Amino acid sequence: MSHRPYVIDEMISAKAIAARIEGLAREISTEFADTDKLVVVGLLRGSFVFIADLVRELDLPVEVDFLEASSYGNGMESTREVRILKDLRGQIEGRDVLVVEDIVDTGHTLAHVTKYLASRKPARLKTIALLDKPARREVDFKASWTGFEIPDEFVVGYGIDFAQRNRNLPYIGKVRFTDSPA
């Protein structure tokens, strides 16, 4: 847990996020137009705001489930070793699945989670990440849909935390420490 003082500079406004989600939802609704039921899987906890807004824009029959994978703990660095902390409640074999993530950073989390879910033989397995930091990638992973590509900055808001704080900001902001030069 960091006790260093910081401020948050807005990077992506709530309005820009809403507009982008509308566009993404249209593409996803087209891709899955023939599905009898799409299982939308949110990765806890960072995706909870994104998934809530996204599913309300989808013009499809959807079921919502959640999965929790270990991530940063309380720091700013990825642990790289990904573990499943909470599994899905429902079955996905033969179903169409969309995994919803907040950020693809090193890529370890989504690479691991998609491999894990693919072993259950879904009919289609797609991924969406609100944010992508390509400069930080350590494993070759690209989400099927991405909201915004961002530079290598630590961000918070719209569900995303820094040591469990700032998830409730309606926009995406960048953390700037005030005890050292920017």
- Site residues (vs ligand IMP, CB under 6 A): 46, 71-72, 78, 101-109, 154-155, 160
Name the minimum Å distance from CB 91 to ligand IMP. 25
**Which C-beta is closer to ligand IMP: that of 60 or that of 131?**
131
CB-based contacts of 118: which residues, under 8 Å, 6+ apart?
Answer: 125
Name the minimum Å distance from CB 31 to ligand IMP. 23
**Which C-beta is closer to ligand IMP: that of 25 or that of 69?**
69
**Which C-beta is closer to ligand IMP: that of 24 or that of 110?**
110
Closest CA relative to residue 55, chosen from 84, 85, 75, 32? 32
Please report, to the nearest 10 degrees, the dihedral formed by the alpha carbons of residues 152, 131, 171, 157 taken in order.
Answer: -70
The yes-or-no answer on residue 34 being catalytic is no
Whole-number Å distance between alpha carbons of 4 and 27: 41
Among residues 105, 152, 161, 179, the one annotated as catalytic is 105
- Distance (Å) of CA 176 to CA 10, 54, 180: 11, 29, 9
Name the minimum Å distance from CB 129 to ligand IMP. 8
| Catalytic residue positions, numbered | 105
